[in-house]
Amino acid sequence: MRKLHHVAAACAISAIMLSGNVLAQVAATPTAAATPKKEETGKDIAFNRTKGNCLACHGMPTVPDAESTGTYGPPLIAMSARFPDKAKLRAQIWDATASNPASSMIPFGKHRVLTEQEIDKVTDFVYGL
């Protein structure tokens, strides 16, 4: 069972690595942005590899479909207890290096990886974890 899981994981990894990279790709597909789709939720943005890609670094133990998550950052759990002030949570996502200069978390707002609205949505989603 564990073996199988490993094989599957290995395949998934090769698929990622061969197709390019673990992190979000430069492919900021303009066409996808142009076609009006169902509005993206905070969760969609957090999960999307070309947007938040939070799972590359963070586990989300309370979200069942948060799979093959990284260990680069701490698991995101009990966030409203740890960040009673939602603005602080948003600030962490906007620019983690402001409070910790050594942080290797991507400064999503400062470097415009996500838009302000996207950050609002992600903050709401993460606050609920």
Partner 1 sequence: MKQRMIMKLLAGMTGLGIALGAATVHATPEGDRQELAKFYTSKYPNIKLEDYVYGALAFDADSKAQYEAIMEFPPFESEIEKGRKMWETPFKNGKTYASCLPNGGNQIAGNYPMFDEAQGKVVTLQDVINACRTANGEEAYKINDMKTMGVLTSYMRTLSNGMIMNIKVESPKAVAAYEAGKKTFYSRSGQLNFACSSCHVQNAGNRLRSELLSPAIGHAVHWPVFRGGDNLVTLQQRYDGCFKQVRAVPPPQGGTVMNNLEYFHSSLSNGLPMKASVFRK
Positions that interact with ligand HEC (CB under 6 A): 22-23, 46, 52-54, 56-58, 72-74, 76, 82, 89, 92-93, 96, 100, 103-106, 108, 122, 126
Q: Please, what sign has the CA dihedral across residues 95, 22, 126, 5?
A: negative
Nearer to ligand HEC, 7 or 13 (CB): 13
Burial group, residue 77, by CB count within 10 angstroms (0-12, 13-18, 19+): middle
Q: Which of 108, 125, 112 is nearest to 41 (CA)?
A: 125
Q: Please, what sign has the CA dihedral across residues 103, 108, 112, 116?
A: negative
Of 40, 48, 57, 127, which lies in the binding site for partner 1, with binding defined by CB under 8 A? 57
111 binds partner 1 (CB under 8 A): yes
Neighbours of 114 (CB within 10 A): 21
Q: Give the nearest distance from C-beta 38 to partner 1 in angstroms.
A: 25
Nearer to partner 1, 53 or 123 (CB): 53
Nearer to ligand HEC, 4 or 81 (CB): 81
6 binds partner 1 (CB under 8 A): yes
